[in-house]
Amino acid sequence: MKHFSAARLAREALRGQSGWTEHWRSPDRPAHAYDAVIVGGGGHGLATAYYLAKQHGIRRVAVLEKGWLGGGNTGRNTTIIRSNYLMEESAALYNHAVKLWEGLSRELNYNVMFSPRGVMMLAHTVHDVQVGKRHVYANQLAGVDNDWLSPDQAQEYCPPLSLDAGMRYPVLGAALQRRGGTARHDAVAWGYARAASALGVDIVQNCEVTGIRRDAGGAVCGVDTTRGAVATRRVGVVAAGHTSVVMAQAGVRMPLESYPLQALVSEPVKPCFPCVVMSNTIHAYISQSDKGELVIGAGTDAYTSYSQQGGLHIATHTLDAICELFPQFRRMRMLRNWGGIVDVTPDRSPIIGKTPVPGLYVNCGWGTGGFKATPGSGHVFAHTMAHDAPHPINAPFALDRFRTGQLIDEAAAAAVAH
Ligand code: FAD
Ligand code: PYC
């Protein structure tokens, strides 16, 4: 079997000329057999494959991606990384990820451009102040950095922020996580893909999984794809937005809803915005990419859909909020906008673990906030698949919690409306 570098695969796929899949399944070859198959070549799936190979010695792994690497939410998100979640279980999970982010470029020998420039979450009402302070105190108790700032301190940290008292939603304070920041999203997918490929993982683009096969005892024994069948006893589904569709192939019903979430970028300008600012209340968040574009994210659409495009009124509402908070951006032009499909659980926390089907594992439900988790998610999911048992960090995030009622209620943690 032929290996190409991930970056070459991505480039060729974008040009529609990838020779890879043709080499992979010529009709005269027997069906392939793997120790593990990952469905979905986003950051989480690729990270899982990397850690399976690197930490657990499971190298006969195939990552099957229906489109191109990172073409799902991984390449569509606004790259905010933080771990200032309220519940202990979440703080542990996201903090695990932040620690891995700190050494990731070195680990992968690929510059993922992790930039811990600080994430500031604004409070506009008395309720926001109370919720923000509650997060700060909970985080400090859990060993996660988070500080409360007065409005003046917030402006000192982010000079473009307006403190105009006449605003619809004046700034009353902010929570600041200094270790939070951003990274380059597609570099994360490419970095994991290249490192996994170097360890022997097969990465196959343009290959949609269309069926999950089960043996007479009900255990997983393979998958069907648009390129033919693959034999395996271990399948990890990491197909954000489409998890329910894929899991239905194995007869498993998921507690998930899929929504469009959108973002947009401005024309590039010189560095003018030093950190990440988020406002949950007025549903806007903003940072500046290394290319100079202002990266702006909006809320989810109100209705479930598989459309990779959000409603125009949602984007308009977000731009109103951005212009109110940062009046100097009123004359900026927006270059492009896009959407992704996020899958959301009832308690707004992810599902990472085993399923009722032996050999079938699932990693999903990250909603609007899974990019920041990528390294930690792949790390603990690989452990789960390798040992057929969860890592202590992801044990509370089992699918079974929707039966037992041991939910991890993070409704207030997401950055955007949902
Ligand atoms: P994806 O990258 O979506 O990968 C799943 C892959 O599965 C896709 O490539 C898809 O093509 C593939 N797939 C689906 N079905 C099949 C099939 N049948 N066969 C084969 N392949 C299949 N999170 C943050 O932490 N910070 C943010 O600032 C942030 N901003 C966001 C902004 C937007 C606009 C969006 C849409 C999301 C944002 N998120 C953010 C959420 C974050 O992007 C996701 O939670 C995360 O990227 C999920 O990664 P993933 O690898 O699980 O999914
Ligand atoms: O979870 O930090 C986040 C986030 C920002 C934008 C979308 N999600």
- Position 5 pLDDT exceeds 50: no
Alpha helices in 57-184 (DSSP H): 88-102, 104-108, 126-141, 151-157
- Give yes or no for a contact between 379 and 393, defined as CB atoms under 8 angstroms apart: no
Pocket test residue of 83, 372, 377 for ligand 2, highest count of atoms within 8 A of CB: 372
pLDDT of residue 413: 62
Overall average pLDDT of the 293-311 stretch:
92
The verdict on the CB of residue 82 being under 6 Å from ligand 2 is yes
Query: Comparing 6-76+185-254+347-413 with 119-178+257-344, is the CATH topology the same?
Result: no
Pocket test residue of 85, 416, 418 for ligand 2, highest count of atoms within 8 A of CB: 416
The number of the ligand nearest the C-alpha atom of 363 reads 1
pLDDT of residue 368: 94
The verdict on the CB of residue 368 being under 6 Å from ligand 2 is yes
The least confident of 1-5, 80-84, 245-249 is 1-5
The verdict on the CB of residue 285 being under 6 Å from ligand 2 is yes
Overall average pLDDT of the 95-122 stretch:
97
Instruction: Please state, rounded to an integer, the average pLDDT across all residues of the chain.
Output: 91
β pairing state of 228-232 and 220-225: antiparallel
User: Cα separations (Å) of 194 from 8, 230, 321, 371?
Assistant: 10, 22, 39, 19
- Position 17 pLDDT exceeds 80: no
Atom of ligand 2 nearest to the CA of 297: 6
pLDDT of residue 31: 57
pLDDT of residue 335: 95
Judging by beta carbons within 10 Å of its beta carbon (0-12, 13-18, 19+), is residue 303 exposed, middle or buried?
Answer: exposed
The verdict on the CB of residue 78 being under 6 Å from ligand 2 is yes
Q: Which residues line ligand 1 (CB under 6 A)?
A: 39-45, 64-67, 71-74, 76-80, 208-209, 238-242, 246, 261-263, 297, 340, 342, 366, 368-372
| Six token digits for residue 8 | 């070459």
- Position 306 pLDDT exceeds 70: yes
- Position 22 pLDDT exceeds 50: no
Counting every residue, how long is the chain? 418
Atom of ligand 2 nearest to the CA of 119: 2
Q: Which residue has the CA at smallest separation from atom 15 of ligand 1?
A: 239
User: Which CATH architecture fits 119-178+257-344?
Assistant: 2-Layer Sandwich (3.30)
Pocket test residue of 74, 77, 79, 80 for ligand 2, highest count of atoms within 8 A of CB: 80
The number of the ligand nearest the C-alpha atom of 71 reads 1
pLDDT band at 13 (very low <50, low <70, confident <90, very high): very low
Write the pLDDT tens digit of every residue in 389-404.
999 999 999 999 999 9
Share of the chain above pLDDT 90, in %: 86
Instruction: Name the nearest CA neighbour of 150 among 127, 171, 119, 173.
Output: 173
Q: How far is the CA of 43 from the centre of ligand 1 (A)?
A: 8
pLDDT of residue 308: 85
Atom of ligand 2 nearest to the CA of 81: 2
Q: How far is the CA of 296 from the centre of ligand 1 (A)?
A: 17
Write the pLDDT tens digit of every residue in 336-370.
999 999 999 999 999 999 999 999 999 999 999 99
The number of the ligand nearest the C-alpha atom of 265 reads 1
- Position 28 pLDDT exceeds 60: no
Q: Which residue has the CA at smallest separation from atom 3 of ligand 2?
A: 369
Question: What is the value of pTM for the model shown?
Answer: 0.93
Angle between the 126-141 and 88-102 helix axes, to the nearest 10 degrees? Answer: 70
- Position 19 pLDDT exceeds 90: no
Task: List the domain boundaries for the chain.
Answer: 6-76+185-254+347-413, 119-178+257-344
> How far apart are alpha carbons 123 and 19 in whole angstroms?
52
Write the pLDDT tens digit of every residue in 41-89.
999 999 999 999 999 999 999 999 999 999 999 999 999 999 999 999 9
Four-residue CA torsion sign, 334, 340, 345, 346: positive
- CATH 3.50.50.60: does it fit domain 6-76+185-254+347-413? yes
Pocket test residue of 94, 98, 285 for ligand 2, highest count of atoms within 8 A of CB: 285
Write the pLDDT tens digit of every residue in 173-213.
999 999 999 999 999 999 999 999 999 999 999 999 999 99
Atom of ligand 1 nearest to the CA of 75: 2
Amino acid identity at 415: A
Q: How far is the CA of 359 from the centre of ligand 2 (A)?
A: 32
The verdict on the CB of residue 212 being under 6 Å from ligand 2 is no
The number of the ligand nearest the C-alpha atom of 417 reads 2
Long-range contacts: 93-97, Cβ < 8 Å, 24+?
A: 93/350, 93/373, 93/376, 93/377, 93/380, 93/393, 93/394, 93/397, 94/372, 94/373, 94/376, 95/142, 95/143, 95/144, 96/376, 96/379, 96/380, 96/393, 97/372, 97/373, 97/374, 97/375, 97/376, 97/377
pLDDT band at 251 (very low <50, low <70, confident <90, very high): very high
Q: Which residues contact 210 (CB under 8 A, 6 or more apart)?
A: 224, 225, 226, 249
Q: How far is the CA of 344 from the centre of ligand 1 (A)?
A: 12
Judging by beta carbons within 10 Å of its beta carbon (0-12, 13-18, 19+), is residue 394 exposed, middle or buried?
Answer: buried
Pocket test residue of 76, 77, 362 for ligand 1, highest count of atoms within 8 A of CB: 77
Strand locations in 243-327 (E)? 257-268, 276-279, 284-288, 293-300
- Position 15 pLDDT exceeds 60: no
- Position 283 pLDDT exceeds 90: no
Phi-psi region at 263: left, alpha or beta (left = phi > 0; alpha = psi -120 to 50):
beta
User: Cα separations (Å) of 33 from 8, 53, 218, 249, 318?
Assistant: 25, 16, 19, 19, 48
Q: Between the ranges 22-26, 145-149, 314-318, where is the mean pLDDT highest?
A: 145-149
Backbone angles phi and psi of 248, in degrees to 5: -65, -25
The continuous run of DSSP H or E covering 353 comes out as strand 351-354
Overall average pLDDT of the 4-11 stretch:
44
The number of the ligand nearest the C-alpha atom of 66 reads 1
- Give yes or no for a contact between 80 and 55, defined as CB atoms under 8 angstroms apart: no
Instruction: Name the nearest CA neighbour of 277 among 348, 329, 333, 349.
Output: 329
